Amino acid sequence: MEKELLQEDSQIIVIILIAIMVLLLMAVSLVLFFFFSRKKIIAAELEKANLEISYQKDLLHSTIEVQEEERKRIAQDLHDAISSKLNVVSLSTNFLIDGNLQEDEKDRTLQHILAVTTKTLESSRRLAHNLLPPILENFGLQAAIEELCDEFICSQKLQIDHNIVYTNLLSKNNELHIFRIIQELLNNSVRHGNATKVTLQMNEENEQVFIKYSDNGTGFDVESVNKNKGIGLKNIESRVDILDGELSYDSKIGKGATFNISTNTPKQ
């Protein structure tokens, strides 16, 4: 009887020990599971942070590159449109000061100075307009885009079918970004796409601005462009990112290009 009780006690002790071992194994397994899971989560978060840093570096590099290209363009325009013409005025004025010209030569020189000065004033107004269109400041984004389209139409470079619906949703700075994006798209259609027709639609819904742009130009290979983006596309991407928006585009060689842009940036 006593022996049987001892055997039962031994069995209970063994069961208890086995239960304790199982619980310890489960506890260790849970600790290891949470440890490695946490490690994976941290690794994923680090990878995400590194990707974000890499993206921000690429965006900063693209923005700086675009800014430098803009500075070069402005400097070239200043040289071609203003500096060179002022040099002509200076030379012509020196001829007058020397006093060795006949009366008819003086008249021709004065007329030439007047003509060059008039062209220089026109060039300076055009440069100022390109830097910050007065109509954008005075009459808003819709009027500025419509005027931009009319300029391309009047130059007979493009036939533009445009429908702009906008009610002062964005801040002035963000409106300028939208204007520059559309300006860049039109320039690209003419310079690189050799397009003759463009369709531009812009509307707003739920405090978002939506832009759909398409042309009938030569198009491009999307995969190649994604690997080696030009200044124009980088400029557009940088501005869309500043607007906290989204950009998608599609194109095929010989079949034109389509761009879809949306912005989530409210008026500030």
Q: How far apart are CA 234 and CA 63, in angstroms?
A: 8
Residue 260 lies in a domain: yes
Q: How far apart are CA 71 and CA 48, in angstroms?
A: 34
Tokens coding 109: 């020189």
pLDDT values of the chain reduced to their tens digit, one per residue, 268 residues: 555 655 666 777 777 778 788 888 887 878 877 777 777 777 777 777 777 777 666 666 666 666 666 666 766 766 666 777 777 778 778 777 876 767 777 778 788 888 888 877 777 766 666 666 788 888 889 999 998 999 888 877 789 999 999 988 888 888 988 999 999 999 899 988 899 999 999 999 888 899 999 999 999 988 888 877 777 788 888 889 888 899 999 999 999 999 999 987 655 5
Neighbours of 232 (CB within 10 A): 16
Per-residue pLDDT, 233: 85
Locus of tokens 């619980």 = 23
- Tell me how far apart the alpha carbons of residues 268 and 259 are, in angstroms, rounded to a whole number: 26
Closest CA to 61 of 194, 225, 229: 229
10 found inside a domain: no
- Give 159's strand partners: 197
Provide the token pair at 172. Answer: 């002035």
Q: Is 18 exposed, middle or buried (0-12, 13-18, 19+ CB in 10 A)?
A: exposed
Looking at the domain assignment, is residue 125 inside a domain?
Answer: no
Residues in Cβ contact with 110 at an 8 Å cutoff, skipping those fewer than 6 apart: 96
Residue 205 domain flag: yes
- Does 16 map to a domain? no
Count of the separate structural domains present in the chain = 1
* Contact status, residue 143 vs residue 166, Cβ threshold 8 Å: no
Residues 179, 80: Cα–Cα separation, whole Å: 25
CA 158 to chain centre: 23
User: Which H or E run contains 209?
Assistant: strand 208-215
Q: Is 14 inside any structural domain?
A: no
Task: Quickly tell me which residue has 């470079």 as its tokens.
Answer: 157
pTM: 0.62
Kindly state whether residue 13 falls inside one of the protein's structural domains. no
Residue 211 is part of a domain; what is its CATH number? 3.30.565.10
| Residue 261 lies in domain | 135-268
**Length of the chain in residues, anyone?**
268
Q: Which of 85, 107, 83 is nearest to 95 (CA)?
A: 107
Q: Is 69 helix (H, G, I), strand (E, B) or coil?
A: helix
The predicted structure's pLDDT at residue 200 = 97
Closest CA to 65 of 241, 238, 240: 238
| Beta-bridge mates of residue 213 | 200, 259
pLDDT, residue 61, reads 64
Instruction: Tell whether 267 is covered by a domain.
Output: yes
